[in-house]
Amino acid sequence: DMSQSMAAKHSIWPREKDIIFNLSARAQQAEKELGTNNVINATIGALMDDEGKLITMDTVYDEYKSLDNKDISAYAALEGQPDYLEAVKKVCFKDYLPEGYIKAVASPGGSGAIKLAAWNYTEEGDEVLTSDWFWSPYVSITEEIGRKVTTYKLFDEQNNFNFNSFKESFLNIASKQERIFTILNTPAHNPTGYSIPDEEWDKIIDLAKEVSKNPDKKIIFFVDIAYIDFASDDNASRKFFKKFSNLPENVLTIVGFSMSKGFTAYGMRMGSAICITSSENVSEEFYYACVHSCRANWSNCNRGAMKLLSNIVNDEAKFKAYTEEKNKHKQMLRRRADVFVKEAEKVGLDILPYRDGFFVSIPCENSRAVCEELTKDNLFMVPLKAGLRFAVCAVNEDKCKIAPSMIKNALEYIKSK
C-alpha cells in the first residue's frame, strides 16, 4: 500500500536499488559459483589485490592497532584534533602549500567535506556546477538539501578539457546566482581517470578572477582530491594547489581531503574540508560555519582515525614506510591501467583520456544493455548515463588485458541488435 506515507515529503525518493551495488552483488555471486579466476569484477571502487581481495595497508593497520584505547574511545574536538588538522595540511599539500589563510575542519570522509561545503556555500535552489562525467553522490548530497547539479561537457571533440563548455556554464550560473559553486574532481577523476592539466587550471582561475570583479559574485571552487594519493606523480599532481594563492577575496577554494583511498581507510570515515583564501575573515567564517554544521549533523569525527593519520605523518620513519607501501600499490595500479589502455587501443575500443586513478571510462549508448550483455561473459562493470566504468583498481593485469576486446565485442553486438 503506497498511500500510507510516514516519511516527510522531502524524504521520499524513488525506490531504486543502487545499480552499482546490485551489479557488485551479482559479481560476487558469480565469483562464489565460478571462482574468482573466471570472473572479472570491475564494479568495485576500492583497491583490490590480484586475487580480488581488499588491500589494507600494514603500515596503516599496524599503527591503528597499536593505539591506546583512550585515543580511540574519547570524544574528539568538533573541528578535529589539532595534530590531525596539521597532518592533513601536510599530506594534502606536501611541498605545494598555497599562500593565504588555510584552515581545515574534520569531516566524515570526503563525502562529509562535500556536504559541509555545499551546505554552507550555496543557497537553497542554487545550481551547483560539475562535469557531465561525475561521481553520482554529488547529486544525492546536494539534492537532499534542495540544490541542483548542472553539468558542463568535460571533454571536447579531441578529448581535451572542454574549457568553452565550462566557461559557458560558469557564466550562465554567474548571470543568475550570487554564488558560483563548482566541484572539480581532480587529479584522477572518478569515473574517467582524467586530471585537469595545469594550463587549463590557469584558464579556469582567470575566468574566476574576471567574474570576481563584480563584488556581488562569490566564487567557490570545491576541489575533490579523493584520489590524489594514487596519481602517479605526487609532486606534479600537486603543483596546481599553488594557483589558489592570492586570489581575490570573493574567490574561495575548498579542498576535499579523504583518508579512504590514500590510507585504505574507506570504512573509517575520516576526511577534511580545507579552505584557501586571501582573507582572514573568510577563513574564520569558514571555520565557524563548518564547525556549526559538524555539531548539528554528526558531532565529532573518528578520533582513532585522526590519531592514526597524525602518528604516521608526524613520524618521519613511519611516513616513509607508509609511502613505500603505498607506492608499491600505486605501481600495481599503473601497470593494470597501462595494460588496459594499451589493449583498448589495440582492439580499437574508444576510451576517455585516462591519466591516473582507480577507473577508466568507455563512452557508449545503451550502457545498461552493454553491461548486461557482458555479465554473460562474467564481466561486471558499472553502467553510467553516457558509458561504462571499468575499475582497474579492482582487476588484475591478466584480466585488464582481456577485458577491452570483450567490451568491444559487446558494444558491437548491442549496436547491431
Q: Which of 163, 266, 287, 298 binds ligand PLP (CB under 6 A)?
A: 266
Closest contact distance (angstroms) between CB of 34 and ligand PLP is: 28
278 binds ligand PLP (CB under 6 A): no
Stretch that binds ligand PLP, among 90-98, 108-116, 367-375, 409-417 (CB under 6 A): 108-116
Q: Which of 52, 271, 383, 387 binds ligand PLP (CB under 6 A)?
A: 271
SS3 per-residue string spanning the chain: CCCCCCCCHHHCCCCCCCHHHHHHHHHHHHHHHHCHHHCEECCCCCCECCCCCECCCHHHHHHHHCCCHHHHHCCCCCCCCHHHHHHHHHHHHCCCCCCCEEEEEEECHHHHHHHHHHHHCCCCCCEEEEECCCCCHHHHHHHCCCCEEEEECCECCCCCECHHHHHHHHHHHHHHCCEEEEEEECCCCCCCCCCCCHHHHHHHHHHHHHHCCCCCCEEEEEEECCCHHHCCCCCHHHHHHHHHCCCCCCEEEEEEEECCCCCCCHHHCCEEEEEEECCHHHHHHHHHHHHHHHHHHCCCCCHHHHHHHHHHHCCHHHHHHHHHHHHHHHHHHHHHHHHHHHHHHHHCCCCCCCCCCCEEEEECCCHHHHHHHHHCCCEECEEECCEEEEEHHHCCHHHHHHHHHHHHHHHHHHHHC
163 vs 266, which CB is nearer to ligand PLP?
266
Closest contact distance (angstroms) between CB of 324 and ligand PLP is: 23
Closest contact distance (angstroms) between CB of 190 and ligand PLP is: 4
109 binds ligand PLP (CB under 6 A): yes
Closest contact distance (angstroms) between CB of 342 and ligand PLP is: 25
Closest contact distance (angstroms) between CB of 337 and ligand PLP is: 16
**What are the C-alpha distances in Å from 261 to residues 150, 214, 271, 304, 393?**
27, 39, 11, 17, 11
Q: What are the cell numbers at 311? A: 602518528
268 vs 332, which CB is nearer to ligand PLP?
268
Give yes or no for a contact between 323 and 380, defined as CB atoms under 8 angstroms apart.
Answer: no
116 vs 174, which CB is nearer to ligand PLP?
116
226 binds ligand PLP (CB under 6 A): yes
262 binds ligand PLP (CB under 6 A): no
185 binds ligand PLP (CB under 6 A): yes
Stretch that binds ligand PLP, among 107-115, 172-180, 302-310, 369-377 (CB under 6 A): 107-115
Q: How many CB atoms lie within 10 A of CB 4?
A: 5
Q: Which of 27, 43, 45, 181 binds ligand PLP (CB under 6 A)?
A: 45
Closest contact distance (angstroms) between CB of 46 and ligand PLP is: 8
Stretch that binds ligand PLP, among 109-117, 203-211, 316-324, 332-340 (CB under 6 A): 109-117
187 binds ligand PLP (CB under 6 A): no
80 binds ligand PLP (CB under 6 A): no
298 binds ligand PLP (CB under 6 A): no
Sequence-distant (≥ 6) Cβ neighbours of residue 119 within 8 angstroms: 145, 293
271 vs 387, which CB is nearer to ligand PLP?
271
258 binds ligand PLP (CB under 6 A): yes
Instruction: Tell me the residue number closest to ligand PLP, measured at CB.
Output: 109
Binding mask 125-164 for ligand PLP (x = CB under 6 A): ----------x-----------------------------
**What are the C-alpha distances in Å from 382 to residues 366, 370, 387?**
12, 10, 9
169 vs 302, which CB is nearer to ligand PLP?
302
Number of residues that bind ligand PLP (CB under 6 A): 13
260 binds ligand PLP (CB under 6 A): yes
Closest contact distance (angstroms) between CB of 264 and ligand PLP is: 11
Give the interface with ligand PLP as residue ranges (CB under 6 A). Answer: 45, 109-111, 135, 185, 190, 224, 226, 258, 260, 266, 271
